[in-house]
Every structure is written in structure tokens, then in C-alpha cells.
Homo-oligomer: A and B are copies of this chain.
Amino acid sequence: MKNNFGTNISMTLFGESHGPAIGIVLDGLPAGFKIDETRIASDMEKRKAKGKISTQRHEADGVQIISGYFNGYTTGTALTILIQNQNTKSKDYASIQYRLRPGHADYTAFEKYNGFQDYRGGGHFSGRLTACIVAAGSICRQILEQQGIFIGSHIEQLYTEKDESFAKDYESLVEQIHAMNQKEFATINEEAGIKMNAIAEEAASQGDSVGGILESAIVGVPTGIGEPFFDSCESILSHLLFSIPAVKGVSFGEGFGFASMLGSQANDSLYYDNGMKTKTNNNAGINGGISNGMPIVIHTCIKPTPSIFKEQDSVDYKTKENVKLQIQGRHDPCIIHRARVVVDSVLAFGILDLWMSKKASEGLV
């Protein structure tokens, strides 16, 4: 449903990069949940542009909850978050309105919206809208955490530099998740993080950009969530992940690595030890689209930011003439470190919604 997603809870996202404000409506939340606004602020902070490898557009990103929230608690009615746009430099865009930026949605927006799209700063396609998702996702995460469900991600790869992967044993994994949530630039291996920053700075200095791969883990998920056939855990989570701009690949557990495994290697043997467990977790806590209680592990590929300063070949939409394009303005040479918390946020939303769908049919027999 376009800018609306979800079954028992839903998000409705709106706004453009250079409009007065962006926002999100989070509907279907349970009433009486005490929201920690400091936590929202700290989650927002993780998405903020900082340092040399991010855009110089700095926004306060003050989160204003204008409905569904009363005396510090959710009311159970639609909760709406508004974030004002303040630091906009719209004139940077007027001159290149018809010059289609490669890798961006400029051409497709023209084709879909017949030229009526708000082209300034990417309009509705701007990564800026993900700020709203982080705010909404923060509330979902707080609800999940109170129930013992935790989510975290790290930059497993940036360009050619790789971080170590999440630990396979449960206790270490939980520790790593908490550690990642404290970090600004989330890598398990500090050294790798420093090298990644250097790579991104180098790309920036060349007017270029880089992408990478996020590894995410969700622990504490109850068994039995996921609604096959069509609303498997993988379907819902990938649907949400692929709505984030720049995501081009999503996999669960061993992902594309399954291709070169034998069935006897791929299958996760079960054993019982104070609850059902699997010896390996290649299937990432999901069998038949339904959670089995083991950690859900996901890889998400973020393509390099399409806004680069190098001269590019393009076309003027109006004249259909081939042109040389030189992008001006303020852009991120790297967004993966900021995208991390966006990924965590949609995962939180998805898990909460699936869990609520399971709750819907309980206690009726």
C-alpha cells in the first residue's frame, strides 16, 4: 500500500527532503507503553550526519510526537511523529532539475509523476525520510526490548574492507549486539572500523562514494512468528529492508552461501537442552518462514551513494540531449554507518507486527 505498511501495527510515511516537515504515523501500538524519549534521541543520533564521510547538511532532527501520546504513555491511537526540515538549500537543485542524476530516482520519478515530483534534494526519495523510520522504529524496539528481544547491526563490509562476523555462540552475540548499539560507527573489530573510515574518506576526496554490507541479528524472538505462505518472516523483513533507499540485496543466515553447500551441511541439527536448539544456525532462526527461537541473522547490501562529485554522463529530460553532469551541493560519500540504525528500525517494526499477528489467534481455543 505505497506509503503504508503493516497488519496489526502500521507505518504511514510522508514528506519530502525540502518540504516543511517529514513524518510518520505509527498506528496500532498497544496503549500504556511508556516511551523513553531519550532513547529515541539516541537512536536518531546514530543516523545523524557527522564527520568527513557524511553530508554537511546537519539537521537538528528534533522529534515531535503530535498524537497518540499523552502524559508520557502511548494512548493506543495513531501516534504521529513530525520532524521539521530546517537546513535546506533548495537552490542547489533548481539548475539541475532536468539533468538526471545516474543511480538516483530522477528519471523514474519523471516517468511516474509526470514532472510534478518535488525534485529538490531527492524529494520523497531522499534518505532523509528514513529519519522518521528511526523514530518510529525506536518505539518498536523499546517495546521489544521490554520483552527481551534485542536487535543490532554492524558494518560487516565497506568497499573491500571486512569486519569479523557476529559470534556464533549466543552469549557473545548478545554482548556484541549491545556493544554495537553503543557505537557510532559500528564494527566489531575496531581496527576494521578505522580502515573503513579511511577508505570512505579517500573515496570522498576523489569525489566518489562507497557502500557495503550490514550484518544484523535479532535475539529473543519467540517461536512461532511468521505467517506463511506469503507473510513468512523473510518476506516481511525483506519487504521492509528493500524499501530503504540503496538496499539491493537481502539474505538470511548463510544466504547466497547456501548455493555451494550440501543439504547435510545446510541443515541445522536439533538438540534439546533446556529448550529446543540447533547446533548450527545456517537457517538464521527461520524454518518454513516461521521463527524457531534461534537468532535471526540477516545480511543487507547497501549500494554506494549515487551522489558523487565526479563528472558523469547523463541526459537532460526536457531536451533529451546527452549532457555532462557535475553534481553540486552537500552529499554523503558513505551512508552505511547511518543506514545501520534504519535497518535495525524496520526489523523492529517487522518483528513486532508479526508477533502481534501471532497474538491475535491465541487464547481462542
For the complex, count residues of A whose C-beta is within 8 A of B.
159
B229 touches A238 (CB 8 A): no
A120 → B minimal CB distance (Å): 8
Most-contacted residue by chain B among A27, A211, A264, A290 (CB, 10 A) = A264
CB of A362 within 8 A of chain B? Answer: yes
CB of A16 within 8 A of chain B? Answer: yes
Most-contacted residue by chain B among A76, A212, A321 (CB, 10 A) = A76
CB of A295 within 8 A of chain B? Answer: no
In chain A, positions 1-35 with a C-beta closer than 8 Å to chain B are: 1-5, 7-8, 10-16, 19-23, 25, 27-33
Most-contacted residue by chain B among A8, A125, A259 (CB, 10 A) = A259
Tell which of B16, B105, B223, B243 touches A111, judged by Cβ atoms closer than 8 Å.
B223
A3-B23 Cα distance, complex, nearest whole Å: 16
CB of A93 within 8 A of chain B? Answer: no
Copies per assembly: 4
A75 → B minimal CB distance (Å): 5
CB of A80 within 8 A of chain B? Answer: yes
B2 touches A262 (CB 8 A): no
In chain A, positions 144-160 with a C-beta closer than 8 Å to chain B are: 147, 157-160
For A357, list chain B residues within 8 Å (CB). Answer: 2, 8, 360
A–B Cβ pairs within 8 angstroms, 27 of them: A2-B230, A3-B228, A7-B8, A8-B360, A14-B68, A15-B80, A21-B66, A23-B66, A70-B123, A73-B116, A75-B123, A76-B361, A103-B267, A103-B287, A107-B223, A108-B286, A108-B291, A111-B224, A112-B226, A203-B262, A235-B243, A248-B258, A248-B284, A249-B251, A249-B252, A256-B256, A359-B363
**Shortest Cβ-Cβ A-B pairs, 9 listed:** A105-B288, A209-B263, A249-B251, A108-B290, A103-B267, A263-B304, A234-B242, A31-B113, A102-B267
